[in-house]
Amino acid sequence: MSMDAVLFWFLSIVVIGAGLSVVLMSNPIYSALSLVMTMVGVAALFATLNAYFLAGVQLIVYTGAVMVLFVMVLMLFDLKRELQAFSRGKITGFFKIAGVGVLAGLLVGVITFTTQKTSLIAEGSPLAADIAAQAASGADNTKILSENLFLKNILGFELLGVLLLVIAIGVVALSRSKGGTHARD
């Protein structure tokens, strides 16, 4: 088995194991920390696929910012009632097993789908040409990514930026409403 294969199987097991423990852990803190582990594993998988920039951004944005806020908020709650509510009961147990079943089905589906078709990218398409050019030029795919974002798809990129700005303003407006967001409760 080559080194890449060893890495791939190791990281896959870590990611799937961490992902499963997100839903199976009774303590929300452990779930959140497992989600962090999943994100790190996915970033490492990106790195093995030579998508270094994506891996770095995944680390900075998801593990460095988004998940920190998740964990911070969870730590400020009183988790004793959550523990009781989620660790017992036939109904929650049924949902857990059903969730695992759906996930396993999805995994099997994805694996069979990807092994039946050799490549998801049609031959002769512009994307295939891009990938071939990138493979020929070396591993500097950050440049190709930025050219794609800022030259080819600039309109979509700017629209997404405007959308994010709207969200940011909305959050500020909501948080400044008198009495907080729970004023009507």
Partner 1 sequence: MSSMGTTTFEIVINLVKTVLIFLMMVQAVPILVWLERRGSGFIQNRFGPNRVGPLGLVQLLADAVKFLNKEDFVPDKGNRFLFYAAPVFALIPAAVAFMAIPMSTPLTVGDSTFLIQGYEVNIGIVFILGISAMAVYTMLMAGWGSSSKFSLMGAMRAAAQVISYELALGLAIVGVILVYGTFNLTEMIVAQQGPLRFSGFGFDFVAPTAFLPNWGIFFQPLGAILLFCAAFAESNRLPFDLAEGEAELVAGFHTEYGGFKMLMFFIGEYGHMMIAAGLMTTFYFGGYGIPGWTTQEVYAAGLSMFGNETAASVFNTAIHFLSFNIKFAIFLWIFIHVRWTLPRFRYDQLMDIGWKTMLPWALFNTILTATVIFLASQYIIG
String of contacts with partner 1 for each residue 66-85, x by CB under 8 A? --xx-xx--xx---------
The reply to whether 86 sits near partner 1 by the rule CB under 8 A is: no
Number of residues that bind partner 1 (CB under 8 A): 29
Of 63-71, 82-90, 100-108, 151-159, the window that binds partner 1 (rule: CB under 8 A) is 63-71
Site of tokens 């080559």: 2
Q: Report d(CA 136, CA 152) in Å as an integer.
A: 21
Alpha helix locations (H) across the chain? 3-24, 28-48, 52-57, 67-76, 80-87, 90-116, 126-137, 141-147, 154-175
- Which one among 8, 31, 56, 103 touches partner 1, defined by CB under 8 A? 56
Tell me the window of 51-59, 108-116, 166-174, 176-184 that interacts with partner 1 (CB under 8 A).
51-59
The token duo for 65 is 């910012």
What string of DSSP letters covers 16-64?
HHHHHHHHH-SSHHHHHHHHHHHHHHHHHHHHHTT-HHHHHHIIIIIII
Task: For partner 1, give the closer residue by CB, 50 or 125.
Answer: 50
Residues that bind partner 1 (CB under 8 A): 3-4, 7, 29, 33, 36, 40, 43, 47, 52-53, 55-60, 63-65, 68-69, 71-72, 75-76, 139-140, 142
